[in-house]
Amino acid sequence: TAQSLPQSMRAAQILEQGDIDVIQVRDIDVPEVASDEVLVKTEFAGVNFIDTYFRGGVYKPALPFILGNECGGVVAAVGSDVDEAKYGFKVGDRVAAYTAGGSFAEYALAKANKVAKLPEGISTRDAATVLTQGLTALTFVKEAHEVKPGQFILVQAAAGGLGLLLVQLAKAIGATVIGTTSTPEKAELAKKAGADHVVLYGEGRDVVGEIYKITGGEGIDRGVHAVFDGVGKDTFEIDFELLRRQASARKGTLVTLGNASGPVPPFSPLKLGPKNLKVVRPVLNQYVHTLDEFQSYTRELFDLVQQGKLRLSVHGEYPLTTEGVRQTHKDIRLTNGWTAASRKTSGKLLVKTA
């Protein structure tokens, strides 16, 4: 079933991988809906760091490729197998969707088991703001490392979109949360989100020393129970030092979850022995794989937003134009030679698609 659909739509595509100017907003056909799919008329799409990996070459999608993996919008059409009794939504409902075919477009395809009807009080803008990063933060603090009250939890890049959400959730559970950021302005944001301590990282800064001080003095238990690290290459080595190392404090967990500074290098498992560390490298998709997983985590996420336990922070909203979408990538620029000046974003970037 479907509302009447146009022939063509605007979409932000890449025809080849490369620097920011490979992004083009073009007119292309509105996609066909397969039996297990949903077509969403999008209103807002969320920008994620992963978009730069797909554009720049860290990940290799089939080309041409429409950027974006999440949106808030209205169901425009559903495939023949998608019935309301099973999935809980129908044509015309407002939904959040984790898309399969690109969300920086006027219409986006998603598998029916990755679409959730929005409750009253959650706008399509909220949905695009929180879906991917919120589900990531929520599933990771429960399943990648189960955060417990009283633990020291380190969140690297604590003022990033995901970082701010991880800080809030870990704090709400009752952990003592330590964040790292590159600037004092970002440190303030991380503190506002609930970080108990924020340490500045970067050239010439003694991050390990600072965090040992926070977590205990010389010779006592020190270090953190778990690190959530989306920075990757630049922080991976010190994560090992920062995980607890005293007799009563072995068995820490390194959750390596992203590559903002580049992919982490290969390492020997022998490195885990001295402190019986665990390293996990989760991806959101595998925690919200089934319909039940997706729907129950999404419900929990929206409840947290409605109760004000998870505050959303939007850095900027961009139009669905070539210039607008290129600007999102300038703001989270991934090229050789990152500079502090290019690391402008804190909180979420959105593309307004309607």
Site residues (vs ligand NDP, CB under 6 A): 48-50, 132-133, 136, 157, 159-163, 181-182, 186, 230-231, 234, 257-261, 282-284, 332, 338, 343, 345
Minimum CB separation from ligand NDP for residue 312, in Å?
Answer: 13
Distance between CA atoms of residues 67 and 275, nearest Å: 41
3-state secondary structure of 93: coil
- Of 30 and 138, the one with the shorter C-beta distance to ligand NDP is 138
228: β partners: 155, 255
Minimum CB separation from ligand NDP for residue 257, in Å?
Answer: 4
Minimum CB separation from ligand NDP for residue 2, in Å?
Answer: 31
Structural element, H or E, at residue 221: none
- Of 82 and 301, the one with the shorter C-beta distance to ligand NDP is 301
Minimum CB separation from ligand NDP for residue 100, in Å?
Answer: 16
Minimum CB separation from ligand NDP for residue 157, in Å?
Answer: 4
Q: Which two tokens stand for residue 52?
A: 């730069």
- Of 66 and 332, the one with the shorter C-beta distance to ligand NDP is 332
Distance between CA atoms of residues 79 and 341, nearest Å: 46
Distance between CA atoms of residues 351 and 354, nearest Å: 9
- Of 216 and 282, the one with the shorter C-beta distance to ligand NDP is 282
Distance between CA atoms of residues 68 and 51, nearest Å: 6
- Of 215 and 345, the one with the shorter C-beta distance to ligand NDP is 345
Inter-residue contact 107 to 30 (CB < 8 Å): yes
Inter-residue contact 25 to 10 (CB < 8 Å): yes
Minimum CB separation from ligand NDP for residue 247, in Å?
Answer: 32
- Of 23 and 39, the one with the shorter C-beta distance to ligand NDP is 23
Query: Residue with CB nearest ligand NDP?
Result: 258
Sign of CA dihedral 10, 11, 17, 21: positive
Minimum CB separation from ligand NDP for residue 332, in Å?
Answer: 4
Distance between CA atoms of residues 47 and 131, nearest Å: 11
End-to-end CA distance of the chain: 22
- Of 44 and 49, the one with the shorter C-beta distance to ligand NDP is 49
Report which residue type is found at 175. A
CB atoms within 10 A of CB 22: 17
